[in-house]
Amino acid sequence: MNIGIIGGGAVGLLFAAYYGEQHNVVVYCKRKEQAQKITTEGIKLKYEDNYLVVPVSGKGTMEDLKLQELIIIAVKQHQLESLLPLLRTLPRHIPLLFIQNGMGHVSILQSMLQKSIFVGTIEHGAVRMGDRAVSHNGIGKTNIAVFKGGSTVINTFPLLENPLFPVVFNHDYLEMLEAKLIANAVINPLTTLFRVKNGELITNPSYYEIFKQLYHEILKCFPKWDNHYIDDIIKICVNTSKNTSSMLKDMTEGRKTEIEAILGYIVDKGKKESVDIPVARFVYRAIIGMEIERGIRAK
């Protein structure tokens, strides 16, 4: 199957490596040097002490995107908008998979004319180690759900038979995205504010109080979710205790974080629905303030 992946970040390269083993993969990158390097050297995948090189193509132009049979959009939510005009020109029969964090892109996807649209969430830990190398630090799942096209289109989605990269289907895309959003909204901003690894949020008793405080406040915006979901988020912190969250990594490395897509979405939701969430607003502003302080965001 011809699969196009837009985005040469950690997630894009991880997908390229695992799908590239069984499919014909092209990675579409912003920088032509990266594209060229991927074409000539392939993706280098590191897992524990193993290295694997997977030959895939890189493209610095989006011209032949319309030849793909599935397109995976692996850019951050705040980079999605600039991509939309291009995606709207694609033949309607090409299925798209969006794997952004947050929920902000849901309203965007509703206006797209594509026949089948999937959304996904990713639980892997992955760090880009250069233009063509990615280190797979934590095995998670890739959760996929049908956003548009009816329940049967899920059968058209290419499965992988690799235990290191399991793909799991979900029936309810909204529940799937909300689960990921709530977990991200608690773990990412707090680890960034305190500049700690994920595990510290539950081993430090005072940070853990804060963790619960923020969780219960956020839940006021998601009344369908019950208090027990916190146990799943605690498990994520246990399983990724030594990981640096993606938001803390973005902040430390001077990149714009996904705070708008994650906590910004919830703060907006609170405002629209008149739910008072002062701590969520505080944490949201703290991360924005840190971005301003570091010159990542304009005043």
By CB under 8 A, tell whether 248 contacts a copy of itself. no
Ramachandran category for residue 42: left, alpha or beta (phi over 0 → left; psi -120 to 50 → alpha): left
* Smallest separation, CB 205 to a copy of itself (Å): 6
Q: Give the number of other CB atoms < 10 A from CB of residue 80.
A: 19
By CB under 8 A, tell whether 278 contacts a copy of itself. yes
Q: State which of residues 40, 89, 110, 213 lies at the interface with a copy of itself (CB under 8 A).
A: 213
Closest to a copy of itself by CB, 121 vs 257, is 257
By CB under 8 A, tell whether 141 contacts a copy of itself. no
Residue 180 among the catalytic residues: yes
Angle between helices 173-194 and 205-219 (to 10 degrees): 140
Q: State which of residues 163, 205, 223, 295 lies at the interface with a copy of itself (CB under 8 A).
A: 205
Among the listed residues 59, 180, 224, 272, the single catalytic one is 180
Contact region for a copy of itself (CB under 8 A) — 38-46, 116-124, 209-217, 229-237?
A: 209-217
By CB under 8 A, tell whether 254 contacts a copy of itself. no
Q: Is 277 exposed, middle or buried (0-12, 13-18, 19+ CB in 10 A)?
A: buried
Residues annotated as catalytic are: 180
Binding interface with a copy of itself (CB under 8 A) = 193-194, 196, 200, 204-207, 209-210, 213-214, 217, 278-279, 281-283, 285-286, 288-290, 292-293, 299
